[in-house]
Structure 1
Amino acid sequence: MVVLALVLAALVVVIGLPGLSVMWAVLVYAGMVVLLLRHWPDQSQSLGVANRITLGRALVVAVLAGASAGFPALAPHTGVLALMALVALVLDGVDGWAARRWRCVSEFGARFDMELDAFLILVLCALLWVLDRAGVWVFAIGAMRYLFVLAMRPWPWLAAPLPPSQRRKAVCVWQVGSLLVCLLPGVRGGFALFLLWAALALLVWSFALDVRWLHRQRAVSAVGSFP
């Protein structure tokens, strides 16, 4: 929280971050910390290097979430927001490297990383919408992961674990990269729409492949369990 306070104070001075944005960023970050501690599998152990880096990335995402409540005051400072999104994207690679380097790869860490990626994408969609860089349809990009999770209720077979996938990681990087570029000053119009529609198309394609794989696994399991 001390680091968050310092970052927010710096942004208040440098870009005039509104009080509503500060309050929203603190609430979002506090909520993420509470969820992290609630689901941490072993309270007797420390988070480890990789999860601490991911938590640092969560701080950046929380500030971006707070910024979405600060428009139109922050409209002239989209370059700063894009830079922060770039920091979050870089840290996304650093935490994975740290997990392998210090041998602290875990199912919890992978899930924490994935859910933070999904929330970052949703936050960037919100920023583009409040900036009027894209219509409300842009939330289809950010909502895809959450719609997939909701679909697990009527179709429990969707909750089966998926194998690691470089394709899935590449599509995620494309989502964040495209949304980030569209935040840059001067990026709008046809080029921005192309990037965003391409991001949505790739995301739909990637989810379709995963759903097909899960459905096939369900069919295989059903055949294997037939007496």
Structure 2
Amino acid sequence: MLETGGAAAAATLGFGVLLATEWVWLVSRADPSPETAAATWAAGTLLVVVGLCAYAYANADENVAPEDGRTSGPAEPGRPYDGLGVPTAVTLTRGFLVAGVAGIAGVAVLGALSPSWAWAAAVGYGVAAALDALDGALARRLDRVSRLGARLDTAVDAFGLVVAPLAGVLLGELAWWYLSVGAARYVFLAGLRLRERADRPTFDLPPRASRRVLAGIQMAVVPLALAPGVFDPWMPLVTGVAAAALLLGFARDWGYVSGRFRREGDGDGDASRTA
């Protein structure tokens, strides 16, 4: 069965867009006052924070040690941890930073396009991206690897690559086509679900470290693209190459899960959840 993280993130994004649209209607597309911009940012940020916390609460039973031997801590495989632990707290902090960027996207919809908002988005998402290397390392170091932490990490990564480019497009720092980077994973998962409903076979993805590398490249490129005046002449080329590499990776993976590309010994099975 596919993860519900994609659906939860997509629903949160939909509510965020709805909220921003409502604010646009309220202010009649006039330039927002500082108070209106601040209130919009706070409302959008809070909405995503609530959605993230609700997702964590709904998956609280996943706060257990994995059963694949990735931890040697005090919790036996499959047994619950006491509390979230530092690594998951770091992941939630990353999610809160991404929520702040989502709030900035809402402000940009209102027409607040000052460089200060773009810098705030660049710094906020940049810190969230940098912390991506910390939560997993802490989980392994402290023997607190958990299925909940993995779920949250994937959800935050995927949602961040939706709202940060969206903020960049609205602020005039990124080209609209870069939104395909954030949409790719959700389109991929939707395609898998459609195959399941049509009772068509899906196949496991071969292990490939390049998936994580390609996602990491996007998370490094986006903060630079959001920062006004930083490498601006090079950004169209850099973002184009980065986006093309990621999209080609998804196209290759779709070939594997749909059976167009076959490995020896492949058979009908569950779709991989590593996309």
Q: Distance in 1 between matches of 2:90 and 2:105?
A: 23
The partner residue of 2:53 within 17, 23, 33 is 33
CA displacement at 1:148 relative to structure 2 = 0.8
Partner of 2:124: 84
TM-score normalised by length of structure 1: 0.81
Partner of 2:85: 48
Letter in 1 for 2:212: K
Q: Distance in 1 between matches of 2:133 and 2:224?
A: 18
Partner of 2:101: 64
CA displacement at 1:205 relative to structure 2 = 2.1
Q: What fraction of aligned residue pairs are identical, expressed as a percent?
A: 29
**Does the 8 Å CA contact 1:60/1:84 hold for their aligned counterparts?**
yes
The partner residue of 1:181 within 224, 246, 269 is 224
Q: Distance in 1 between matches of 2:106 and 2:210?
A: 33
1:144/1:170 CA distance change after superposition, 3 Å: same
- How big is each residue's C-alpha offset from its partner over 1:78-106, in whole Å with a ceiling of 9 and x where there is no partner? 22321111110111011010110111223
User: Which has the larger helix fraction?
Assistant: 1
CA displacement at 1:210 relative to structure 2 = 2.4
1:176/1:23 CA distance change after superposition, 3 Å: same
The partner residue of 2:266 within 217, 220, 223 is 220
1:162/1:182 CA distance change after superposition, 3 Å: same
Partner of 1:139: 179
TM-score normalised by length of structure 2: 0.68
Matched, 1:198 2:241: yes
Letter in 2 for 1:55: L
The partner residue of 2:194 within 154, 160, 179 is 154
The partner residue of 1:73 within 106, 112, 132 is 112
The partner residue of 2:251 within 198, 208, 225 is 208
TM alignment of 1:122-133, pairs within 5 A:
122-133=162-173
- How big is each residue's C-alpha offset from its partner over 1:33-76, in whole Å with a ceiling of 9 and x where there is no partner? 10111022257742222111101111100011001111243522
Partner of 1:6: none
Letter in 2 for 1:84: G
TM alignment of 1:82-121, pairs within 5 A:
82-121=122-161
Any unmatched runs of 5+ in structure 1? 1-14
CA displacement at 1:176 relative to structure 2 = 1.4
Any unmatched runs of 5+ in structure 2? 1-33, 64-79, 270-275
